Amino acid sequence: MAGAKEKGRNEIAIFAGGCFWCMLAPFAEAKGVIEVIPGYTGGHKDNPTYRQVCSDTTGHCEAVQVTFDTDLTSYEELLDIFWRQIDPTDAGGQFFDRGSSYRTAVFYLDEAQREKAEASREALNSSGRFNKPVVTAVLPASTFYPAEDYHHDYHKKNPGHYKQYRRGSGRDAFLEKHWSTSVK
């Protein structure tokens, strides 16, 4: 895993925002993003499966690994995208997906990412955008296990189901409510 920017290298960022299907498209469409891989991280079981992670027995959560060109986008810009996809005040999962496998977290790969993630979280917490505290964790990255192939580019392979899932889960309504206007 690569961390801080090195000349001629891309950087990796890892974000857990509930269902990884809903995290793929926003990052994949962002300027400077090279690749977004859905997977599992933060737990104790090697090479977990989707079924195992969803059972909440592996310690892992669904996450995305984002490879990006630091000449075209910054880690801070990716953090902004991340916050705008989740309910950072919900410690029990995301929307109708409940349990630790759907928790939110920023997994940092180096000290610079940790500092930026913590500063970003604190700025959001102080912004007044939410009426509850931000509980999203900032944690050291551990092994990232890519998800099964059928999860990759799910939003492209199954656009109807993906859009219905987002709407039905309450994610889209929440994001519209909290991000469509500026904080007063």
Q: What is the DSSP letter of 96?
A: T
- 19, 22, 54, 61: which is the annotated catalytic residue? 19
Q: How far apart are CA 18 and CA 15, in angstroms?
A: 9
The sheet with strand 104-108 has its strands ordered as 137-140, 104-108, 11-17, 61-68, 33-41, 145-146
- Classify each residue of 22-39 as buried b or exposed e, where b means 16 or more C-beta atoms within 10 Å of its C-beta: bbbbbbbebebbeebbbb
State yes or no: is 61 an active-site residue: no
Q: Where are the beta strands (DSSP E) in the chain?
A: 11-17, 33-41, 61-68, 93-94, 97-98, 104-108, 137-140, 145-146
The pair of three-digit structure tokens given for residue 70, joined into one six-digit string? 């630091």
Query: Tokens 């099964």 map to which residue?
Result: 148
Q: What is the dihedral of CA 83, 84, 86, 91, to 10 degrees?
A: 40
Residues marked as catalytic = 19
